[in-house]
């Protein structure tokens, strides 16, 4: 009887696989529809996770020792509301600062490329009689420079148009998805308001269907993942604000042009670990180059020193060693994440890689300790 049941199970499994292959298109379409319908809830969970990081900190300062019943009853609701207001305020401030500066940076670049190439042409024409090699190659160089001018202007213009089109597309999608965002935010508020009850229910379900060892492993993995993500999110935002402010202040002190523009852009790009600040520095150097090549060179020296300060002092203290991922693996994670998911892939790759790295290192250490104990016993 047991053999018959086991054979029947295999036949049922094969039949299910055949049906899945036969109706794969319909099944995939159904999964896509379900995923699309459930996306607001997934987004709500992401919003709840980010808000929870800030809410926990606010609850520690919102009259934590008060025994007033009104304060106790309203603490969660007040901290959720304050978290939402703070994040919206930060986003509005960043939008008002960064977006106009990005538009200004694009206009400076578009205007500066022809000016720089024109200066090079004038220099060659002025000094052609002093340098025979330059004089002989002037015609060829001029043709190349004219082609370079056209290509550079068209490339920068296309980038600027692409940026504007992306901005308009983002605004359009944001407008069309306003209802989904409201649903997501409502779901996030519900999750935060009842997170203790949800934890209890999840533990009950796990207790009912899983073994204690399995539950312990799941809790262990989730603890490491949560630690990596929360430390990375909070630390990366603080670090980006600090590096942007230091860059702006330093540029004002040394009288570099476009201090606010470059500082805002570096602050925005610094959200991308390791490579972000260098992207902002490259744009800043080019903008300053349109005004003064010497100042552009000095700016690169200044930003290099600031980057070393950030890598050795600010980043380890703000983001902390809790990420626990060596620099070579951070670079590898950003490279792979950027290739797979663009900017969002870069942002998510570091905490994911840090979680995997920490789990792997802990497992290796555990195996080494176990092997040593076994060797001692033998």
Q: What is each CA distance from 8 to 4, 16, 20, in whole angstroms?
A: 6, 12, 18
Per-residue confidence (pLDDT) for residue 252, from 0 to 100: 92
Work out the average pLDDT over 263-287: 76
Q: How far is Cα 339 from Cα 295, in angstroms, rounded to an integer?
A: 34
pTM of the model: 0.66
Per-residue confidence (pLDDT) for residue 142, from 0 to 100: 47
Q: Residue holding tokens 């902390």?
A: 320
Q: What is each CA distance from 77 to 43, 73, 80, 193, 274, in whole angstroms?
A: 21, 8, 5, 7, 37
Of residues 131, 107, 110, the one with CA closest to residue 261:
107
Q: What are the structure tokens assigned to 138, written together?
A: 């002037």
Per-residue confidence (pLDDT) for residue 227, from 0 to 100: 85
Per-residue confidence (pLDDT) for residue 120, from 0 to 100: 63
Contact 130, 140 (CB under 8 A): no
- 222-259 per-position pLDDT tens digit: 988 888 888 887 777 888 888 888 888 999 999 888 88
User: Higher confidence at residue 301 or residue 159?
Assistant: 301
Work out the average pLDDT over 297-317: 79
Contact 356, 329 (CB under 8 A): no
Q: Residue holding tokens 């939008």?
A: 95
DSSP at 129: T
Q: How far is Cα 266 from Cα 307, in angstroms, rounded to an integer?
A: 11
Q: What are the structure tokens assigned to 362, written together?
A: 């802990």
Per-residue confidence (pLDDT) for residue 119, from 0 to 100: 67
Coil, helix or strand for 171?
Answer: helix
Q: Let me know if 76 is exposed, middle or buried by CB neighbors in 10 A (0-12, 13-18, 19+).
A: middle
Q: In angstroms, how far is CA 293 from the centroid of its own chain?
A: 32
């Amino acid at each position: 009887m047991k053999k018959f049941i086991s054979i029947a199970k295999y036949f049922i499994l094969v039949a299910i696989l055949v049906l899945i292959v036969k109706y794969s298109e319909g099944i995939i379409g159904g999964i896509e529809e379900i995923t699309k319908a459930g996306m607001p809830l997934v987004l709500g969970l992401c919003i709840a996770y980010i808000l929870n990081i800030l809410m926990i900190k606010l609850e520690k300062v919102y009259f934590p020792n008060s025994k007033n019943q009104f304060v106790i009853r309203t603490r969660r609701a007040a901290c959720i509301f304050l978290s939402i207001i703070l994040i919206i305020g930060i986003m509005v401030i960043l939008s008002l600062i960064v977006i106009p500066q990005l538009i200004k940076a694009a206009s400076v670049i578009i205007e500066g490329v022809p000016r720089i190439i024109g200066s090079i042409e004038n220099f060659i024409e002025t000094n052609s009689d002093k340098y025979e090699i330059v004089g002989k190659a002037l015609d060829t160089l001029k043709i190349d420079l004219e082609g370079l001018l056209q290509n550079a202007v068209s490339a920068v213009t296309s980038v600027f148009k692409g940026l504007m089109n992306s901005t308009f597309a983002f605004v359009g999608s944001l407008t069309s998805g306003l209802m989904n965002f409201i649903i997501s935010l409502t779901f996030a508020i519900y999750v935060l308001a009842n997170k203790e009850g949800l934890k209890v229910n999840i533990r009950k379900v796990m207790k009912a269907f899983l073994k204690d060892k399995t539950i312990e492993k799941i809790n262990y993995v989730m603890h490491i993942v949560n630690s990596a993500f929360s430390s990375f999110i909070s630390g990366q935002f603080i670090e980006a604000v600090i590096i942007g402010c230091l860059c702006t202040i330093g540029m004002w002190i040394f009288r570099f042009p476009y201090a606010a523009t470059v500082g805002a852009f570096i602050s925005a790009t610094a959200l991308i670990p390791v490579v972000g600040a260098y992207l902002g520095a490259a744009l800043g150097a080019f903008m300053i180059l349109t005004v003064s090549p010497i100042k552009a060179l000095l700016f690169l020296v200044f930003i290099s020193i600031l980057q070393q300060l950030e890598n050795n002092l600010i980043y380890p203290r703000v983001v902390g060693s809790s990420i626990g991922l060596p620099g070579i693996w951070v670079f590898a994670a950003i490279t792979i994440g950027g290739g797979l998911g663009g900017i969002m892939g870069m942002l998510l790759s570091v905490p994911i890689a840090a979680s995997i790295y920490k789990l792997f290192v802990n497992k290796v250490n555990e195996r080494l300790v176990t092997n040593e104990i076994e060797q001692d016993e033998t």
